[in-house]
Chains A and B, each alone.
Chain A
Amino acid sequence: MENYLKRTEGAYGTRGLIVRRDSWKRAALTYGPLILALIVEVAVFEYIGWRQGKPGFASMNTMMLVLNQSAVFGIMAVGMTLVIITGGIDLSVGSLMACAGVACAMVVQWGGEPLWLWMAAGYAVALLLGACAGAFSGALVTWFRIPPFIATLALMSSLRGVGNLITEGKPISPMPDVYGRLGRFQIGGWLPVSVLVFAVVIAGGAILLSQTQFGRHVRALGGNEESARLSGINVGRVKRRVYLLCGTLTALSGLILSSRLGAGSPKVGVGDELAVIAAVVVGGTSLSGGRGGIGGTFVGLLVVAFLNSGLTWIGVETFGQQVTLGIVILAAVLLDRIKP
């Protein structure tokens, strides 16, 4: 690098640049309250359970259960986090997830033997479908300048319709036993395959966002699109890749869900886009773009998942859970507001 101004203007001095402590401090400020909330949450459920004569909520068992339950949402949430950081939104994930499951199940059922080959083909078709749907959203948003909310709202409706049309509204089943492996098999009898996939996606997403050029560009254009463009960033391409990634990950979620159900159902995932957005928002990612991270989303997912399983643990059923989730979303956003 050529040095233009080497000490030309006399001795330059700035105060010592304390770097590491700063970034630690910021990380602690960002995730600290959320992690604290999570710990408090688990403690509260443990206490109430104990009072009810049912101790043992805070256990590895629950942890694994919660992770397993979060896997489907969690994989989608990684893509959604990136989309939201660019200042966009993807409402089509619920429908797309169902379509991906249906597509895979149809391919497997239509193909027959050898099963492994048609399974692989089914996965490939589903993931390709997800990628195409994501790319389509991205194209609408960048080339045709349709607001993400509207573009993906349209896609949400159409994809739901497509899923129902090709299956005539009925689930594709029964499926062979092997089909359930991805969603149900536990490696070594304790580690579910889906949790492993979830962990890989989370880790990959976190590295992608915080350590790579692509991730930096995503955050920059979410913070200020015009500045990013004038800094030579191809903002359209970055956005299209983000939507493509979100679509592909959504298809992956759809595969896991369909495997768990042992069927390709066009009815699943209704309203899931909102649940995913809720987890992302609870995790501190700002809907106005530029601010947020995968770490936050992960903790946000855990907060929501522990909430649901904790409420079940202490005997509060679905309706009560819905009310509580609403309160938690508001509390999380308020917590974010009062932070310095």
Chain B
Amino acid sequence: MSEYVLEMRDITKRFPGVLALDQAHLELRSGEVHCLVGENGAGKSTMMKILAGAQPADSGEILLDGAPTAIHSPYHAQQLGISMIYQEFNLSPYLSVAENIFLGREPRIGRSPFIDWQRMYRDAREVLARVKVELDVRRPVNELSVAQQQMVEIAKALSVQARIIVMDEPSATLTDHELAALFALIKTLRRQGIGLIYISHRLEEIFEIGDRVTVMRDGRHVATNAVCDVTREDIIRMMVGRTLTEEYPKEFFQRGAERLRVERLSRDGVFEDVSFSLHTGEIVGLTGLVGAGRTEVARAIFGADRKTSGQIYLDGAPIEVRSPRDAIRHGIGLLTEDRKNQGLVLGMTVRENTTLANLVAVLVGPFIDRRKERAVTDQYVRELQIKTPSMEQIVQNLSGGTQQKVVLAKWLFTNSKVLIFDEPTRGIDVGAKTEIFKLINALVRRGVAVLVISSELPEVLGICDRILVMHEGRLAGELSRQDADQEAIMRLATGIRAAAAV
């Protein structure tokens, strides 16, 4: 019997123009939580796709329990006991929990084509009991919360006798409470001898749940350590290949005039009575637990959703914002949390995305002036250091950090006076994060008022001058940079001090 349940040896994978994996390796023991970290493009996902049978490796071998194994397809991988849990779930929304768990493997009555519902529900309950989750197995999964859907995915993995489970950014959409439940579940799985590969950008989680951690960079294996032997700084250094002088490069500017003021903004059933102001020269943070209504407030200011009541003032004058169009005309921009579905047209080029929100500026009569459009794009590609082989590159093929810069270029080109960043660094690796923060600083220096919505408390504390905290649709309080720490924010966010708020 081998020491490892899974060994990936000398895996090399070449894509046109890129060496995605260069003799990378990974060893997984049974009953351990093995964290896999690295910047975007480091090769984590390619490695996992090869393990899942979704892509063949060019060379290298995979050993299961010490025996060399070829994985031909995702289905084959599943049969071998390898399960993947992606950020986007592979659940069928209108089917029930039980139907999803046994999708494609429905128990039947004898050899007839009819489903043995009794047994399916009983088995589903058993599997859920194994992960200590209570759910009505007859409920359609679209009625479940994101966290519950994740539990169903995990139960599904267990029901196929998975010995190896890969979780790709499982925590990204979870609230703190749900995260705790997930960690408890992971610990249960670990006790049952299952090997877990855990991919996350949140380094804190590694120290909370991981046994060992493997760092990848540029398609190569950098190091594997026991989690207790390394520090957060060690990991970051290994990920970026250099010492990051400052993770949060904060610059201070003279606080200027009021740019945006929001008074008693409400949207029935979503948020209520939200008032605050943004000045030039400062970065204001808006934080709170997931579901507190932060994104919704931003969308209402931007005109993406209707507000029920309240007034918005720009440079002291009341403005009417009924649609994103109005907001853009007034110089307000929103960089949405979901870049791929709300910020970019993935099938279009860098150039086309850059000018999308302000095409008028490159028009000659009714026609688009391509030369002008290229000049504009070229300028932003250089200034924001957008890492693309060409401005004619389809943005789908760019990394998360690069895509975020393209979205930023789009809003800069609209001459925005107010920019709202919703989770600007979600899914972006450490190195690119710092770059985004530097760009935000540069914007503030140029007189843009900036609101940053973020769930990452270190980030909020690191870059903001003032911090607004929301709790259940209301502004629970405001903290200055001096008064703010994680504890103070969490107290407001969880409503402990809501009554005594500023």
Contacts and interface: CB of A to CB of B under 8 A. Distances in A.
Contacts of B446: 2, 4-5
A213 interface: yes
Contacts of B381: 14, 17
A7 B325 contact: no
Contacts of A229: 304, 324
B2 interface: no
A213 B359 contact: yes
A130 B107 CA distance: 55
Contact of A1 (B344, B374, B378, B413): B413
B368 interface: yes
B356 A231 contact: yes
Nearest to B302: A230
Nearest to B377: A17
Contact of A26 (B346, B386, B392): B392
Given A8-B442, A8-B445, A18 B390 contact: yes
B390 A22 contact: yes
Contacts of A13: 382
Interface stretch (B115-123, B157-165, B335-343, B423-431): B335-343
A230 B347 contact: no
Interface string B377-410: 0110111111111111000000000000000001
A214 B367 CA distance: 9
B209 interface: no
Q: How many residues of A sit at the interface, in one of the four size bands?
A: 35 or more
B356 A220 contact: yes
A88 interface: no
A13 B385 CA distance: 7
Contact of B385 (A12, A214, A230): A12
A4 B412 contact: yes
Interface in B426-453: 438-439, 442-443, 445-446, 448
B352 interface: yes
A14 B443 CA distance: 21
B95 interface: no
B35 interface: no
Contacts of A232: 323-325, 327-329, 357, 414
A4 B368 CA distance: 24
Contact of A230 (B342, B361, B391): B342
B156 to A, nearest CB: 28
Q: How many residues of B sit at the interface, in one of the four size bands?
A: 35 or more
A213 B327 CA distance: 20
Contact of A231 (B378, B383, B410): B410
A231 B442 CA distance: 23
A124 interface: no
Nearest to B350: A17
B356 A228 contact: yes
Given A17-B381, A17-B390, A230-B336, A224 B368 contact: no
B185 interface: no
Interface in A266-309: 290-291
Interface in A1-46: 1-9, 12-15, 17-19, 22-23, 26
Contacts of A230: 302, 304, 324, 334, 336, 342-343
Contacts of B328: 231-232
B484 interface: no
B413 A5 contact: no
Nearest to B338: A226
A223 B356 CA distance: 12
Contacts of B341: 224, 226-227
Contacts of A2: 415, 446
B346 A224 contact: yes
B406 to A, nearest CB: 11
Residue of A6, A8, A227, A231 ringed by the most chain B CB atoms within 10 A: A231
A224 to B, nearest CB: 5
Contacts of B367: 207, 211-212
A59 interface: no
B345 A17 contact: no
B360 interface: yes
A19 B442 CA distance: 29
Given A12-B382, A220-B356, A227-B344, 12 more contacts: A12-B383, A12-B384, A19-B390, A212-B366, A216-B352, A219-B345, A223-B345, A223-B346, A223-B347, A230-B302, A232-B323, A290-B347
Q: Which 4 A-B pairs have the closest CB atoms?
A: A223-B345, A22-B392, A232-B328, A231-B357
10 contacts: A2-B415, A4-B446, A7-B383, A12-B383, A14-B387, A212-B368, A219-B352, A220-B356, A232-B323, A234-B325
